[in-house]
A and B are shown apart, each in its own frame.
Chain A
């Protein structure tokens, strides 16, 4: 039944698919995860702040990001970032921003909203007494957060953070809308060039499935190990 298909195209294009495409996808995922968790944690701290202005600003940002479709945000940032960059440095012409950098900024800012909600739940899961104990010892807000609350919140939320990262890994494929060459984008280019759409998209699906499923299995085993430690 596969007589009409040419699966050799996969082997022929594997170098391009993985060296260019998958590298783009994984680098973007990893950096957006690190940036997203960093800014997400800051946002979570702001949302839980007793200063109303901070919590309102962070809440507004998170709600805005979570109410917009990702594709729209990718588009929007791709066309807007050059102008924002120009405005920041005071240049006349739009700044040239590569598609990778544009994607990275977009995903970091978008995912920060989701990581924020995870970290917020994590921070709130830490008993109030822990904060009291930190303050009672004379530790200030930053030390109490950095050494007592966040490490525990992070550990409690690790499985959820990783699950969100798997979603991020899949979502990075949406960068095809700005013609960036991620794994899907690379495959799509080969598919169209050689007219091997079924073969390439099937292969892409299999690879995404294996990687995502493998990662989520890992998360599950991690989850049960954390449960034992606790």
Chain B
């Protein structure tokens, strides 16, 4: 199954990535291979099989109580950021 250039552009846009033309061609081929791989599933008869939405089907809830816990400081939080001003994370201008 061929993956159109349009699909590749859409995927790039959703992932906020920019591809060069030769990359698009290469990714197109790779996407096709991935889809083909999953197409093998089409061969399986799934009549009457419910979609599996969770594998955590134990009959219990996993909750935490509503308690405040202070884990890290602002300084620690910002320390991994490529850009910050000591108070805010800074990212390239996004128009709101």
| B partners with A | no
